[in-house]
Structure 1
Amino acid sequence: IFPTNLTATKQFLEEINKWTTQHGVSPLSWEVAVKFLMARKFDVLRAIELFHSYRETRLKEGIVKLQPMEEPLRSELLSGKFTVLSTRDPSGASIALYTAKLHHPNKTGNHVVLQALFYLLDRAVESFETQRNGLVFIYDMGGSNYNNFELDLSKKILNLLKGAFPARLKKVFIVGAPVWFRVPYNLLSLLLKEKLRERVQMVKMTDLRQHLPRDCLPEHLGGVLPLDAHSWNQQLLAGQNGRVDPVDELVGIPLVGTSVHMPGPEAMKLEELISHLSRAQRSGIYAEYDEIRKDPPSPQNYIIPCGTFCRFRTFIGVFVLMLGISVVLCSCCTWGGCGYFYYFFSTAYNQERNRYGDVLCLDQTRVCLKSRKNERSDYINASFMDGYKQKNAYIGTQGPLERTYGDFWRMVWEQNVLIIVMTTRTDEGGRRKCGQYWPLQEGGQEVYGHIAVVNQRVDNHSHYNQTTLELHNTERQVTHFQYISWPDYGVPTSAVTLIDFLGAVKRQQKRAVQAMGTQWRGHPLGPPMVVHCSAGIGRTGTFCALDICLSQLQDLGTMNICQTVRRMRTQRAFSIQTPEQYYFCHTAILEHAQRQGLLTANQ
């Protein structure tokens, strides 16, 4: 391992084994760490995300322990349906083969098929050569018919290969696809970027040899190898009895997730931030923000108009999941769940719950209200957002509408919220920016839905108001902070006042968590705090970005504003709305550092 990779492996193990220690399980081994790091080119953050994606995918599917010598897994491994070939492609990549015609959904459940897939791929990537050179996946549809095809299973397999398995997926060859499968795929491929089209290819059986040499293909695919998957897999099983998978123990830990905001390799020290600002100037930082804006709020997104693909959507779902495409389906399409959709945001019934029609709420991070009898929707325009090393530290949301007051307070109640941060006034420039969703006067009481809210106390400060509220079903105290010195689309006149406000918010959160005592068993920093402005993206994103960057600065002496904003926008679409807000994050951090004596005189 190169010195930089050695450092990355140590950092990966340090972060993961903090987590294993908390849960009282054995630490992760060096070999397993390298496997996950190799799959992400030794990018520590991405490798940590992959590790938890792998673990959580297995847990969601109920695959806690893999026992290959026991039924029904043993029979599935020996069925020939899925195997890893004994040869490699010319680049050294392993070749995995799935034979669709051997799958009979009415006989074998998805659970067993996925167990076999996990087991065989785990064995394949134990090889350092496979870790380094990657995996080629052949999806053999030759001789199959519609009865052999199962959408849900295909989605799960391709999702696993896309982002939840520690192997570099180099190519996917779909071989011998029937007509009913080719038509929707060809339509979808028109939407793909060239780079993605090259990664997934549909090829005729006779053309596969143009991509892979004959000596690494089985005979029925035009190669020279006799296909005896039963023998190959039987050989793989030999000596496996009693073997313990090193990740099995970790899979059984309940889902906790990992924050997207972990220190990355491009983090800046304060002096590097000063140099960057000096070199780029305001215009360069604005240009940097413009590049961020060009990124869609999730990997890619396309709007599929009504009538174009509706009848093909079940087939398209297989590929959109694998390639990370975000699709906004038309309102007549009731299908979803393939990842990265704005389906719930865009449905006709939920439209009236959005303050603005262009402030998207991503399905994968949206807050779902708990279901109630006779209610048609669990939707609220609110998104979970991670903090520094803390998953779901915030709920970024729009300023409540009068019709959504009840939903807002339900969310506060259900998510155990202790702090609400409001960074707007209710009216600005003659326009309504947010409803008056809490009783304004001391002693006032209002009922929102099924929750009564009582104003116990108001403390007015120069730049913000702090209101102590009590919620009744049973008693619970929530502190409401309203920052009043921040113009819409603009930035505060002073970074000092905003950072002081942030400090007051965090101190109150800490006091509230301590007051809960043993009642709170989640993250030590407490439940998510609700943060909102009018749309829930501009001032909200700026507030959260500052908190994340200043937390990392305090912890490690580094930060990465650009990376933080990019990652934030994958959870709350369009977070940080203007180049001025993005530039303000830079200057505010330096102003704070100077005030705290973290900069030398000549800086």
Structure 2
Amino acid sequence: MSELHSFKMASDDQEFAVKQFIDLCNGSTSSRKRNISQTTAVKFLYARKFDILRAVSLYEQHEQIRLREGLYSMNIDVEPLYSELQTGKFTILPSRDTTGAAIALFTANKHSPLSVTHTITLQGIVYQLDCALQDPETQKAGLIFIYDMSGSKYSNFDYDLSQKILTLLKGGYPARLKKVLIVTAPLWFKAPFKILRLFVREKLRERVFTVSVPTLRLHVPLKALPLHLGGALEIDHATWLLQCRKSMTNREDELLANIEQAAFNRSNSINTTNISNIVNNSVSISAENSNTHVNSNINTTVATLTNDDYSRRLLVGEEPNENITLKQSNCNSTSPLPACKQIDAESLATAAATGPTVGVPVLNSLDASGTQGNAALVNGAIVSSAVTSNGSSNGSSGLSESWSENPPSSASSGFSDDDSLAGQEGDPKTIEQIVQMVKEQGRKGLVKEYADIRNRAPEGTFVHARMRNNLTKNRYTDVLCYDHSRVVLSRDDGEDYINANFVDGYKQKNAYISTQGPLPKTSQDFWRMIWEQHCVVIVMTTRVMERGRVKCGQYWEPTENSSLEFGSFHVRTLNIEINEDYTVASLELKNLKTDEIRNVSHWQFTSWPDYGVPSSAMAMLNFLQKVREKQSTMVKALGDTWAGHPRGPPIVVHCSAGIGRTGTFITLDICISRLEDVGTADIRGTVEKIRSQRAYSIQMPDQYVFCHLALIEYAVSRGMLKSVDLTGFDERDEDSD
């Protein structure tokens, strides 16, 4: 098929979708005709990837929110909206991210809740968002929302306004929201943020990040960030407002026509046989004086009809199960919605029946047993049926909680699972299939497979690691860290470089920090990283000295009640527990600039032999489990001071170079987590993903082989497998880190 023909088919599909969207929203009778343009239809369809039902639902919710919040008839030349726009608290930056997404910036310290109403603030935001969406590139690529809390105080924060903005962006505005980046969130913000996150659908919650100024550049290029956020961009808000004035089309006529029509039809009842009546009357709206002002006291009524789960989920914005089908006309068989274009009246009647009550946010969450629960905000309080604050899901086996709990993201990435390893491995296998593969390939086959992985060129650049000032901060000249995933330090205490990379876990973005063993000159940077990333657990898989060579600097005191200082940080060893295979040190980390004290748990695995890999994996597996249990305990102790995922900040893992034993530990943790969760694992896919974030991870063939044998040994120890005969794997290769 030629590219031209493919493009024509795609265009025809889009034209059909636009026509059907307008027909569904306009209705079939002239008395109910809405003035919906093709431009408007395209906006809403792009926002829902041309899923017609979901786009119609978004349009209805969008109109309802604009009615409820008084977002019609905005006159930008009249006070107080004129002054609100001039503050620049909300603006669209004159730049885009690498994917073409527009960037919206809300500066919290410019907002004064006591001096401006919610309506005026929302009008200022929506007016500018409307302008941004005039650009087709924004329609296609979406929007990044930066909520900058730098320098803000509690008096700048408005919980109700934040909830309304989230409600608007999560399902009431025709823009694909790619990310929400909350910059420099103060401690007092942690508790309300835990509640605010409940107002975000699970899929959007995965796109919400809390970041520091240095780590903001991991999400948005420096050239697209303003100067005060570490970028190179100068904001010219006045020019943007002038552009808005020039670019805005006369959408008011269309919106006002819809208000008048809503008032005209407020007494209409639902007709389940008429598709337009179902869509347009699923919520009956009463508005007075619609020619000039909108009554904020809108009466809302939700129809109650029989519905199937697929359609209900479409209306409330949830993803439908793949095996649930929707009856459609002009199709030869019952099939998932995207396969056919026509939607019959009966199906849409079913879909419209049980949408959420307008004005009362529905909080979809999970209770402790994993069952679905609902909660709503009533008079400022959370009213819930079987809902938990962390949304933890049910486990999959009888293993301890730490293996099966819902994995979180790091301090720098909030709730995102977007780029995690979950479901992205190339060839997941059951443990029985892994055993069969290992037996068939033998050690030589696994070594060859590792060689294929190792021979691939690095998937990134090393510009910062090779800078003159940073070269001496690398322990080994041939072990550098990628630019795209590197941990960026704050420049408050020096340079921003450290040889460390974020690595994703199973269903968890930035679950780990892979780093080299600190050098004497980089120990201060190491503790800065621990502090800035809020890390509470450090895993060390090497000894300080091995075979007469220094493998790592002594960045903590190995004796109780002793301490060291590294720049602005005082590290005191409170307690040491020595076990057969590992040593645990309880450390107190004090920031000498602020006098704030935090606890850090240091876990050193001491049973890795000086040469090769362990002959048995059980010591490492038990160590790994203990680490997870400690991380869980430490995070619970943080209480409301931690607003990220339940499993907390990144676990820092290092050996000497930060690639060999470090990569082995992380690979096993990910594969075990997946095996416990869904019963499959993909060691090769996991190693490939880790290497794309920390170059050269899994340094030697023996380590790759060990990951396979260790996973099998784990399965046997947990009763997933009977004893397995794997003779022939006791050879060892050359020295590995």
TM-score range, shorter chain: 0.5 to 0.7
- Determine if the alignment matches structure 1 residue 262 to structure 2 residue 382: no
Structure 2 Cα separation of the partners of residues 529 and 54 of structure 1: 29
Aligned residue number for residue 16 of structure 1: none
Amino acid at match of 2:572: V
Offset, 1:69: 11
Q: Match for residue 490 of structure 2?
A: 370
State the partner residue of 1:579.
Answer: 701
Selected match of 2:550 from 432, 435, 442: 432
Match of 2:454 in 1: 293
Would you say how many aligned residue pairs link Structure 1 and Structure 2? Answer: 368
What is the SS of the residue equivalent to 2:465?
Answer: helix
Contact 1:390 1:523 survives alignment (8 Å) = no
Instruction: Please name the residue that 1:497 is paired with.
Output: 619
Residues of 2 paired with 1:481 and 1:384: CA distance?
19
* Displacement of 1:601: 6.2
CA contact (8 A) 2:133 2:175 kept: no
Corresponding residue of 2:677: 555
Name the SS of the counterpart of 2:509 in structure 1: strand
The C-alpha deviation readout for 1:131-186, integer Å capped at 9, x for no partner, is: xxxxxxxxxxxxxxxxxxxxx99x98xxxxxxxxxxxxxxxxxxxxxxxxxxxxxx
Q: Which residue number corresponds to residue 529 of structure 2?
A: 411
Query: 1:121-132 counterparts in 2 under 5 A?
Result: none
Provide the C-alpha distance between the structure 1 equivalents of 2:487 and 2:133, rounded to a whole number of angstroms: 40
Which among 586, 600, 610 is matched to residue 468 of structure 1?
A: 586
Q: Tell me how far apart the structure 2 counterparts of residues 475 and 255 of structure 1 sit (CA, whole Å).
A: 23
Hey, what does 2:631 align to over in structure 1? Answer: 509
The superposition leaves residues 1-30 of structure 1 with CA deviations (integer Å, 9 ceiling, x where unpaired) of xxxxxxxxxxxxxxxxxxxxxxxxxxx999
Verify the 8 A CA contact 2:414 2:645 in the aligned structure 1: no
Shift of 1:553: 0.6
The 1:68–1:417 alpha-carbon spacing in structure 2 relative to 1, beyond 3 Å, is closer
Aligned to 1:49: none
CA distance in 2, matches of 1:581, 1:237: 65
Residue 400 of structure 1 corresponds to 518
In the TM superposition, what whole-angstrom CA distance separates every residue of 1:46-70 from its partner, at most 9, and x where no partner exists? xxxxxxx999974745599997998
Paired AA for residue 548 in structure 1: I
C-alpha displacement of 1:520: 1.0
Aligned partners of 1:558 and 1:506: how far apart in 2? Answer: 20
- Would the aligned equivalents of 1:438 and 1:446 in 2 still touch at CA under 8 Å? yes
- Correspondences of 1:99-138 after superposition (within 5 Å): none
Residue deviations 1:357-404 (CA, integer Å, cap 9, x gap): 11121111111111216x3x2101011111111111111100000011
Q: Describe how 1:240-251 pairs up with structure 2 within 5 A.
A: none
Q: Deviations over 1:36-55 (max 9, x none)?
A: xxxxxxxxxxxxxxxxx999
TM-score (norm. length: structure 2): 0.45
> Structure 1 residues 75, 422: CA separation in 2 closer, same or farther (over 3 Å shift)?
closer
Q: Provide the secondary structure at the position in 2 that maps to 1:394.
A: strand
SS at structure 2 position matched to 1:348: coil
For residue 32 of structure 1, report the CA deviation from its aligned partner: 4.0
Tell me which amino acid in the other structure corresponds to 1:278.
K
2:10 is aligned to none
Cα offset, 1:475, TM superposition:
2.1
Q: Give, in angstroms, the shift of residue 431 of structure 1.
A: 1.1
Offset of residue 282 of structure 1: 0.7
Q: Show the counterpart of 2:504.
A: 386
Q: Deviations over 1:232-257 (max 9, x none)?
A: x99x999899899x89x9xxxx9743
Q: Secondary structure at the match of 1:497?
A: helix
Question: Once the two structures are aligned, what percentage of the paired residues are identical?
Answer: 40
Residue deviations 1:273-311, cap 9 Å, x none?
A: 11111111111111111111122231xxxxxxxxxxxxx
The DSSP-based 3-state class of the residue aligned with 1:372 is helix
Cα 1:238–1:425 change in 2 (3 A) is farther
- CA distance 1:121–1:481, shift in 2 (3 Å): closer
1:346 aligned partner, one-letter code: R
State which drifts further: 66-75 or 389-398: 66-75
Structure 1 counterpart of 2:668: 546
Task: Name the structure 2 match of 1:480.
Answer: 602
Separation (CA, whole Å) in 2 of partners of 1:33 and 1:397: 40
Find the aligned partners of 2:45 and 2:712 in 1 and give their Cα distance: 40
Q: 1:344 aligns with which of 459, 464, 478?
A: 464
Structure 2 SS opposite 1:436:
coil
CA contact (8 A) 2:489 2:496 kept: yes
Q: Which aligned pairs between 1:196-211 and structure 2 lie closer than 5 A?
A: none
Question: How far apart are the structure 1 equivalents of 2:99 and 2:597?
Answer: 35
Change (3 A) 1:490 1:30: farther
* Residue identity matched to 1:262: A
Identify if the C-alpha distance between structure 1 residues 67 and 380 changes in structure 2 by more than 3 Å, giving closer, same or farther: same
Question: Cα gap change, 1:55/1:274 in structure 2, threshold over 3 Å: closer, same or farther?
Answer: same
Cα-to-partner distance string for 1:501-521 (whole Å, 9 max, x where unaligned): 101111111111111111111
Greater gyration radius: 2
Distance in 1 between the 2:127 and 2:512 partners? 42
Task: Show structure 2 runs of 5+ residues with no match.
Answer: 1-43, 52-95, 107-121, 141-172, 177-219, 225-247, 259-279, 281-314, 319-360, 362-412, 726-737
Question: CA separation of 1:60/1:558 partners in 2, compared to 1, >3 Å: closer, same or farther?
Answer: farther
Which residue, out of 277, 280, 292, partners 2:438?
Answer: 277
1:573 counterpart letter in structure 2: A
SS in structure 2 of the partner of residue 396 of structure 1: strand
TM-score by length of 1: 0.54
Whichever residue aligns with residue 422 of structure 1, its letter is: M
Any idea what SS the aligned residue of 2:615 has?
coil
- The answer for the alignment partner of 1:532 in structure 2 is 654
**Residues of 2 paired with 1:357 and 1:601: CA distance?**
44
Encode CA deviations 1:107-132: one digit per residue, 9 max, x unaligned.
xxxxxxxxxxxx9999xxxxxxxxxx
CA distance in 1, matches of 2:253, 2:710: 62
Higher helix share: 1
State the AA in 2 paired with 1:291.
D
* CA shift in 2, pair 1:475/1:281, >3 Å: same
Deviations 1:565-588 (A, max 9, x none): 000111111111011100100000
Q: Does 1:358 align with 2:478?
A: yes
The answer (yes or no) to whether the contact 2:576–2:585 under 8 Å persists in 1 is yes
In structure 2, give the amino acid aligned to 1:284.
G
SS of aligned partner of 1:465 = strand
Give deviations 1:454-492, integer Å, cap 9, x for gaps: 111111111111111111232211111111121467212
SS of the residue corresponding to residue 343 of structure 1 reads coil
Compared CA separation, residues 69 and 437, structure 1 to 2 (3 A): closer
Taking a change above 3 Å as real, the CA distance of residues 83 and 522 of structure 1, as seen in their structure-2 partners, is closer
Instruction: Say what the alpha-carbon RMSD is for the aligned residues.
Output: 4.2
- The structure-2 alpha-carbon separation of the partners of 1:240 and 1:83, relative to structure 1 and needing over 3 Å to count, comes to farther
Rounded to whole Å, the distance in 1 between the matches of 2:437 and 2:634 is 39
Equivalent runs, 1:13-92 vs 2, <5 Å? 32=48, 58=101, 60=103, 72-73=131-132
Q: Contact (CA 8 Å) 2:102, 2:138: kept in 1 or not?
A: no
Q: Match of 2:575?
A: 457
Indicate if the aligned counterparts of 1:267 and 1:560 stay in contact, CA closer than 8 A. Answer: yes
